[in-house]
């Protein structure tokens, strides 16, 4: 058995690697699924809308589960959350296999939902645990921990590609997802989890809530309400969602007597820009690489993930050289360059542009977690995991729809001007969005296009996606402004320094380690 506490002179590396492998398991699903989407679409005869629904349900529950568990995890225990994640991941894989065997879309949908719940649960316990056992070097070790994300993407993507070359079917490909789940379960079982540093230091639950405050809870509540509306496919009027969020914010203020830590609120505001910069761009870059390099796109995805893994493993010296805030400033600047490069790059150098972009995005999310854990230790699991939830929800509710709106308008304009006959065939008419009316395509008509017309449409769509990268460079530009505010704030106070909690207890959870 292993033990760990916030005050341990020798951090529990076995527990760290258990958390690392758990994160690898979560991204393994994403990596493998990214290269088998065509197989899923063929097996279940999915329309474009249904593919979007499946991909969406693989995202929203992540944010909800991470918020819920962050509020209760110090009460139920970190190992309990870990066991819940293992069970959920296992049932999700089994459900996916049943779906493939039966061809049931409903089984596929709900098993994907369960994957997202499990992934959010994993994030809810690994981040505060690692921040606790490495309380003196949080930014470094959270970066190393999150090397597990691109590592899992690379392993999952490579597994899917290699199994495909060997002629292995979809059922066996998805069954492979059980391997990392079993592996992290076996590592988790013998571990003793520490009491989170907030609890060990005697910081009250109310003090944790005060770090988020009325403004933070208002933002989270609005995103959750809008997310629920998208999940149930119901249009919630903006005044209604804002009213609910305002009521939650007022209630939070009455209870906590706090508007929230201004720095934490600023980071929350930045997170949707960060998530859209990283995850939104990734979604389109894969398609562009597939159009330009159809036989290599999957391996470019694996290569970029390996680069990110290596960089995060060596985050310690980099964080020491720049400081956590300095690294965010440099990363945001590189992300701007990378997105502009992707927007202007011809097909022959798209791979190089993707690598430059990878260098920019590598440290953004993981270093943000490091900053939050170092600057708001009183916020415990809630502040540490809340930023990830806001990022994912913000991207899904604001970032991705806006990206889609601009793309739809660009494609509509180009089709009208350059391919009027094709436009007349596939025009879907205007549709209402939370940002007003948007042009659309008739997806049934698109799927029925002859090969020549489908190629014409693909050229126009890909050209607009490339132009969108130029527009998306504004996102890390906004982030850069926020990071510079923090950089000069700390510089005026003598430089960036982590805050420490004086622990009043070195207790461990009373779990039996089995």
In the chain, where the domains are located: 203-260
Q: Are the C-beta atoms of 43 and 317 separated by less than 8 Å? A: no
| Residue 346: predicted pLDDT | 83
As a whole number, the mean pLDDT across the chain is 85
Each residue's pLDDT tens digit, 399-429: 777 777 788 888 889 998 888 888 888 888 8
Of how many residues is the chain composed?
514
Of the CA atoms within 13 Å of residue 57, those in its CB half-sphere come to 20
Radius of gyration of the chain (CA): 23
Q: 54: which 2 tokens?
A: 């499946």
- Evaluate if residue 89 carries a pLDDT over 60: yes
pLDDT-derived band at 514 (thresholds 50, 70, 90) equals: very low
More confident residue, 426 or 52: 426
Each residue's pLDDT tens digit, 141-176: 999 999 999 999 889 988 988 988 888 888 999 999
| Residue 56: predicted pLDDT | 64
Query: Where do runs of H (alpha helix) occur along 436-499?
Result: 443-447, 451-472, 474-491
| Residue 431: predicted pLDDT | 77
Q: How many Å apart are CA 490 and CA 374, to the nearest integer?
A: 13
Each residue's pLDDT tens digit, 479-501: 999 999 999 999 999 999 988 87
Q: How many Å apart are CA 358 and CA 305, to the nearest integer?
A: 8
Each residue's pLDDT tens digit, 319-341: 888 899 999 999 999 999 999 99
* Residues β-bridged to residue 441: 427
- Evaluate if residue 504 carries a pLDDT over 70: no
Q: Are the C-beta atoms of 315 and 140 separated by less than 8 Å? A: yes
- Evaluate if residue 59 carries a pLDDT over 90: no
Each residue's pLDDT tens digit, 111-127: 988 998 999 999 999 99
Range with lowest mean pLDDT among 2-16, 351-365, 417-431: 2-16
| Residue 131: predicted pLDDT | 92
Decide: helix, strand or coil at residue 194: strand
Of the CA atoms within 13 Å of residue 230, those in its CB half-sphere come to 25
């Amino acid at each position: 058995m292993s033990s760990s506490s916030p005050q341990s002179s020798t951090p529990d590396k076995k527990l760290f690697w258990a958390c690392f492998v758990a994160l690898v398991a979560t991204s393994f699903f994403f990596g493998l699924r990214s290269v088998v989407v065509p197989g899923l679409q063929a097996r279940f005869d999915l329309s474009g809308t249904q593919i979007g629904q499946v991909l969406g349900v693989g995202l929203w529950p992540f944010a909800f589960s991470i918020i819920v568990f962050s509020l209760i995890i110090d009460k139920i225990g970190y190992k309990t959350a870990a066991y819940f994640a293992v069970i959920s991941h296992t049932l999700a894989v089994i459900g996916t296999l049943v779906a493939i065997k039966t061809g049931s879309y409903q089984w596929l949908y709900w098993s994907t939902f369960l994957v997202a719940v499990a992934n959010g649960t994993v994030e809810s316990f690994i981040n505060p645990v690692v921040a606790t056992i490495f309380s003196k070097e949080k930014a470094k070790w959270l970066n190393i921990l999150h090397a597990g994300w691109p590592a899992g993407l690379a392993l999952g993507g490579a597994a899917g590609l290699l199994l495909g070359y060997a002629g292995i079917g979809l059922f066996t490909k998805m069954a492979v997802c059980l391997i990392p789940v079993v592996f992290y379960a076996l590592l988790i079982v013998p571990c003793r989890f520490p009491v989170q540093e907030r609890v060990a230091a005697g910081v009250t639950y109310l003090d944790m809530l005060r770090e988020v405050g009325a403004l933070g809870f208002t933002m989270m509540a609005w995103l959750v309400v809008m997310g629920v509306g998208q999940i149930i496919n119901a249009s919630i009027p903006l005044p209604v969602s804002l009213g609910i969020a305002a009521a939650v914010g007022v209630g939070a203020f009455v209870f906590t007597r706090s508007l929230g830590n201004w720095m934490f609120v600023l980071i929350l505001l930045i997170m949707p820009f960060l998530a859209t910069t990283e995850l939104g761009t990734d979604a389109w870059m894969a398609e562009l690489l597939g159009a330009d390099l159809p036989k290599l796109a999957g391996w470019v995805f694996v290569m970029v993930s390996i680069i990110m893994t290596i960089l995060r493993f060596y985050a310690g010296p980099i964080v020491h050289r720049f400081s956590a805030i300095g690294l965010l400033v440099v990363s945001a600047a590189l992300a701007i360059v990378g997105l502009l490069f992707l927007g202007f790059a011809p097909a022959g150098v798209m791979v190089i542009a993707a690598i430059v972009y990878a260098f920019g995005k590598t440290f953004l999310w993981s270093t943000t977690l490091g900053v939050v854990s170092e600057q708001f230790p009183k916020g415990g699991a809630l502040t540490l995991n809340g930023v990830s939830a806001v990022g994912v929800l913000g991207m899904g509710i604001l970032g991705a729809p806006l990206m889609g709106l601009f793309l739809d308008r660009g494609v509509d304009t180009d089709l009208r001007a350059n391919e009027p006959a094709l436009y007349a065939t596939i025009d879907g008419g205007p549709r209402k969005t939370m940002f007003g009316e948007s042009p659309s395509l008739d997806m049934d008509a698109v799927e029925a296009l002859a090969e020549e017309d489908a190629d014409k449409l693909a050229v126009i769509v890909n050209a607009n996606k490339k132009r969108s990268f130029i527009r998306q460079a504004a996102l890390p530009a906004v982030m850069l402004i926020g990071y510079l505010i923090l950089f000069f704030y700390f510089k005026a106070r003598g430089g960036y320094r982590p805050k420490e909690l004086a622990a009043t207890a070195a207790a461990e959870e009373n779990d039996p380690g089995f």
